[in-house]
Amino acid sequence: MTTIPAIRSKRVVTPEGVRAATVHIRNGVIAEISSYNDFPSGKHIYDAGESVVMPGLVDTHVHINEPGRADWEGFETATRAAAAGGVTALIDMPLNSIPATTTAAALETKRAAARKKCWVDVGFWGGVVPGNAGELRALHHAGAFGFKCFLVPSGVPEFAPVNEDDLRIAMPVLAELETPLLVHSELPGSIEEANKKLAKLDPAKYKTWLLSRPPGAETKAVGMMIRLAREFKARVHIVHLSSELSVPLIRRAKKEGVRITAETCPHYLFFASAAIRNGRTEFKCAPPIRDSRNNKSLWNALGNGAIDFVVSDHSPSPPAMKCLDSGDFLKAWGGISSLQLGLPAIWTKMGGRKDSLEHLVRWMCSGPAQLAGLEKYKGAIAIGYDADIVVWNPEKRFIVHPKMLQHRHKLTPYAKQSLRGIVEATFLRGEMIYDRGRFLGKPQGALLRRGER
Ligand SMILES: [Zn+2]
């Protein structure tokens, strides 16, 4: 493990803009940002040249699945992928592992499973499921960063969806704790209605999957969550917003002062439905990737702040569960594997405009850090912040070869895509953990608790 006392570059992205600078690191924290030429001599300094020096990405939407379903994804592989993708902190979702993180005891089980396996910092969301309102305080005090719930079946039996009655019990507790509620926002009614009409359609056609998850299911759910956030003065965060029709609702609610935020994911911004060939279930996620007009609207919403930030929703499964033989979109596991590729996927579609490095930091570093309450020490290159840093070349392209991916399973819709932006090095609290394809030392990521540095 190599501690780096100083990193310099012609392009350091700071909250005040992009400039040539030297970042000085002491005890894992950014101690000073000085001029480019104020670069100490000696061992272990890192001259990034023209490459971008940026805060490490904060990814608040990752499904790691360990313990219980570690054959889907695990702490070691997921966090290696994170390090290789420039992600230095991630928050794990409460479902797909067994147990699900719906009790304080389950959180400790997860932490025990993660110990000594994490290459980057890892925190945990708790879950709201029917009947666990009595556990929420204990989970909060045990360090859960906030809470996630589903309004439709989640795909696993241990994590049941909640309805409005359940939320009316949980939300006053969460409001009092000042902790956010992250919501998979689709309501079952519209989905059940849509599914009645699918019997005669070919399940290997992407269009069938698209028809099975209508945008109305999302807008109705978002409407309900805005209403509840207003009523309980609770913090609500819409995860993986997929439909342009939900955007005006969120914009209006924000204007009105409702405490609501929203994220979208690289796949909704990178892909559009017309290019998804039949049977290609690696593109299946819920809600689904929609058409190119919708794609453009999501970019606009991100640009004008209606959508706050971009996180991966990395949700892999063993390839067999993707039903590639039959190509059946209705039976395949819904989840996209992309943790390592978020930065280049978004950057590629941003077109590499000069001013856009600051946007990128807001969307992928400081924005998600704020949701998790990490904004005072992660997500910025500023004095006093953790020296969690990614160095990357924003001009160079690469072709995604599955074998370069560190995820447990290599199946991803990004395979064979030409992406712009190559991560060269990743630093965690000033330690170099990743260097052009090599991992250095051993896993040193901290298991984070809310409110603790
Ligand atoms: Zn998810």
Asked if residues 315 and 411 have their Cβ atoms less than 8 Å apart, the reply is no
pLDDT of residue 445: 98
Query: Is 0.85 surpassed by the pTM of this model?
Result: yes
239 Cα–ligand 1 center, Å: 8
pLDDT of residue 1: 63
198 Cα–ligand 1 center, Å: 25
91 Cα–ligand 1 center, Å: 11
- What's the pLDDT tens digit per position in 18-35? 999 999 999 999 999 999
- What's the pLDDT tens digit per position in 153-177? 999 999 999 999 999 999 999 999 9
How many other β-carbons are positioned within 10 Å of the β-carbon of residue 304?
10
Mean pLDDT estimate for the chain: 96
Task: Answer whether residue 330 shows pLDDT above 90.
Answer: yes
403 Cα–ligand 1 center, Å: 24
Task: Answer whether residue 343 shows pLDDT above 80.
Answer: yes
Task: Answer whether residue 46 shows pLDDT above 90.
Answer: yes
**Average pLDDT estimate for 56-61:** 98
Distance CA 333, CA 321 (A): 6
The closest of 151, 105, 107 to 126, measured between CA atoms, is 107
300 Cα–ligand 1 center, Å: 23
**Average pLDDT estimate for 73-101:** 97
The closest of 240, 415, 424, 390 to 337, measured between CA atoms, is 415
312 Cα–ligand 1 center, Å: 8
- What's the pLDDT tens digit per position in 97-136? 999 999 999 999 999 999 999 999 999 999 999 999 999 9
285 Cα–ligand 1 center, Å: 9
Asked if residues 336 and 285 have their Cβ atoms less than 8 Å apart, the reply is yes
145 Cα–ligand 1 center, Å: 16
Asked if residues 178 and 144 have their Cβ atoms less than 8 Å apart, the reply is no
38 Cα–ligand 1 center, Å: 44
- What's the pLDDT tens digit per position in 388-419? 999 999 999 999 999 999 999 999 999 999 99
pLDDT of residue 352: 64
250 Cα–ligand 1 center, Å: 20
400 Cα–ligand 1 center, Å: 23
44 Cα–ligand 1 center, Å: 39
226 Cα–ligand 1 center, Å: 20
Calculate helix-pair angle for 215-232, 188-195, nearest 10 degrees: 170
For 151, 209, 302, 336, 450, the CA distances from 309, given in Å and listed in that order, are 22, 26, 7, 18, 20
Nearest-5° Cα angle at 139, 81 to 157? 70
Task: Answer whether residue 354 shows pLDDT above 70.
Answer: no
Distance CA 122, CA 116 (A): 11
> Bridge partners of 389?
55, 427
How many other β-carbons are positioned within 10 Å of the β-carbon of residue 189?
13
442 Cα–ligand 1 center, Å: 28
